Amino acid sequence: MNDLVKLTRDSDIGVITINNPPVNALSPGVPEGIEAAIQTCCEDLSVKAMILIGAGNTFIAGADIKELEKITSGEKPFDGAMFRLFPAIENCSKPIIAAIHGTALGGGLETALSCHYRVAVASAQVGQPEVKLGLIPGAGGTQRLPRLTGLAKAAEMCAGGELVSAAEAARIGILDQLVDGDLLQGAIAFARQVIAKGSLPCKTCDREIPPCDPQAMSAIKHAFAKRARGLVAPQKAIEAVEAASLPFEEGIQREAELFSECLFSEQSKALIHVFFGEREVSKIPGIGKEGSKLPIRHAAVVGAGTMGSGIAINYANAGIPVLLKETSQEALDRGLAIIRKIYTAMVQRGRITQAEMDQRWRLIQPTLNYDRFIEADIVVEAVFEGMELKKQVFAELDKVTRPDAILASNTSTLDIDAIATATSRPQQVIGHHFFSPANIMRLLEIVRGKETSPQVIATSMALAKTLKKVGVLVGNCNGFVGNRMFGPYQREAQFLVEEGARVEEVDAVLVDFGMALGPFAVADLAGLDVAWRIRHESQHLVAQGTRQPLVLDTLYEQDRYGQKTGAGWYRYPEGTRRAIPDPDVQQLIEDKAQQAGLVRRDISKVEIVERILYALINEGAKVLSEGIAIRAVDIDIIYLYGYGFPAHRGGPMWYADTVGLNRIYERICQFEQQHGVEWAPAPLLKKLAESGKKFSDLDRDRSLKRGLITEVE
């Protein structure tokens, strides 16, 4: 035993308590401590049974991910402590009961499965979420779980990684009993019942697998082949679960082989990078912790359009009262109708109850004036994307809000410093760029102006967590990080179709790469009118003579705004969002190319990927060198959560590292020769490529130079 695991007694019952805060992960020392405690109890003849329980708020939330990262990087060997622990639990001659509260996830559930019995409080959750890290359960989870739930349910849990409530876990056979009241006392009472029966411990590995409907397994395979497009781990998880039909030791061996394949895969490394990256982006140099934030008790949103309505929903969902202002009753009614439709759909899908909808609805308070804005701790402006209008709104807000209120703009591209000049308090002005649909998308791009105070930044980062968003702090420039990089991405997509590719072909190649949508489908979803507006708002920043896309302006002039008008780059049959290639658009592209003197040619899938993604990466390197993004991983998280970049590729900068910066740099130099100055390689990319370094090396070096970086809680 050690400080991580404590052994106490309740008469003839040994209580083994894991105390490894904050989540009782199976870090080095924990498996060894549990095994030592079991050994002590086995040697003590007065101990008749044992209870395994977690201290604090949870049972065991899983393995220590940092240890897995060390193994895959070669920093340390795999010692297999968990693999020794679970047979030690299962083969113990005295009953061991897992007492679960909080969560039992991954290795935590595998620990519980190796116990002879499992009890839990009603609020507990269990699951095997390893697939979210590109892994499968690797310590017997795919072999023991089917012996309790059956093959189909185990395959669904291991391939999907979703959590299961205690009530559901009891229904499907994972739990033996739900405990009312105090968990430990309930577990002790259960243990005494087991002792009284005098039966031998019930080993999970000895159980017969319940009969399985072959059609159910076939349906699960088909569903995950479609749902987990491009992902390896879900299919490996199903394969491992099917191996449970073998004798137990053979199944364990097969699971170990499949686990090893996943652990050392590029997909797992990328997903682990994402796991840590989501936590890393909350660490802001020079920003303090507790005590530095302003309280956000009341909010206000100016503009009840699609974005403003979605932003208001975020605040209401977090329990924060929010004023929603519009300039006319008609516009306000439209916004409220959007909100009601979203909440009604959530109730119909069972995501919230009618009572929860009613409660949230009451928190959204419509208004046509600024009378109550003095109550707001933060105001989010979500009006039309035009500088003059935004300045007008901020000038008004400066007069009607408290001096300490935060004034945030939802602008997606415009200069935060310019907006701040309309106020007498630029230190209170910041960008809160929500992504559409704002009530669903997890990313919040937080844009600091040159005078934005550390307190406002710290408050914004903490508020993102309250709103269940991933907040990423960025600097102020045209488009910030996300949309600035998206410009070259969209630019190359349009140039490719002018040069010979087809719209649907470019989109298909990017979807095959793993993007949620291709660039043209994304443009139609966002609205070509929005793209046109953004382009013309920033036209003064484009150098004279720079090649410009030929088709977008014409589509805008034809009122082809995308899905909202039923036609954009694609056609959309009335009442659907199904994109259909449009021969009229294809003809327009060919006509414009001919007028511009372009000779159309066949373009390979490889060139499509390289032109579009390398343009994205090159701009990302510029963003990094200018300090607009703090770290490369910040860019990755922005693109994963805001732009549908495939998580199993780790984000654009991580993907660049896996391809090799030298290779990308050489290809960009070739594109510069072929297509001109727009392809000039970023100096940072050139420097890293020539020195044999990666963007991840840059992140590490910068972190070491900064020293200790605090995280905004």
**Structure tokens given for 697:** 């090396």
The answer to whether the beta carbons of residues 25 and 64 sit under 8 Å apart is yes
The answer to whether the beta carbons of residues 644 and 525 sit under 8 Å apart is no
Beta strands in 101-211 (DSSP E): 103-105, 117-121, 125-127, 164-165, 177-179
Residues 6+ apart with CB under 8 A from 649: 270, 513, 514, 655, 658
What per-residue confidence (pLDDT) applies to 711? 43
Active-site residue list? 110, 130
Report the CATH architecture of 482-706: Orthogonal Bundle (1.10)
What per-residue confidence (pLDDT) applies to 708? 41
The answer to whether the beta carbons of residues 258 and 239 sit under 8 Å apart is yes
String of b and e for 251-283 (b: at least 16 CB within 10 Å)? Answer: bbebbbebbeebbebebbbbbbbbbebbebbbb
Tell me how far the alpha carbon of residue 350 is from its chain's centroid: 22
Average pLDDT per consecutive 10 residues, the chain (713 residues; last block may be shorter): 89 96 92 95 95 96 82 70 85 96 96 97 96 94 96 94 95 96 96 89 90 85 86 95 95 95 94 94 78 89 96 98 97 96 95 96 97 97 94 97 97 96 97 95 97 96 96 96 95 97 97 94 90 75 81 93 93 88 96 95 97 98 96 97 95 98 98 94 97 94 62 43
**Structure tokens given for 106:** 């991954």
**Structure tokens given for 158:** 């291991």
**Structure tokens given for 638:** 């922005």
Beta bridge partners of 52: 16, 98
Looking at the domain 5-258, which fold is it? 2-enoyl-CoA Hydratase; Chain A, domain 1 (3.90.226)
Provide CATH 3.90.226.10 ranges for the chain: 5-258
**d(Cα 144, Cα 252) in Å, to the nearest integer?**
9
The answer to whether the beta carbons of residues 454 and 292 sit under 8 Å apart is yes
What per-residue confidence (pLDDT) applies to 712? 45
What per-residue confidence (pLDDT) applies to 577? 84
What per-residue confidence (pLDDT) applies to 1? 60
**d(Cα 269, Cα 251) in Å, to the nearest integer?**
25
Of 403, 470, 488, 466, nearest to 433 (Cα)? Answer: 470
* Overall CATH class of domain 299-474: alpha beta
Please name the amino acid found at residue 512: D
**d(Cα 292, Cα 514) in Å, to the nearest integer?**
40
Provide CATH 3.40.50.720 ranges for the chain: 299-474
**Structure tokens given for 58:** 């949870």
Residue with tokens 């977690």: 54
Which three-class secondary structure string do you get for 182-241?
Answer: CHHHHHHHHHHHHHHHCCCCCCHHHCCCCCCCHHHHHHHHHHHHHHCCCCCHHHHHHHHH
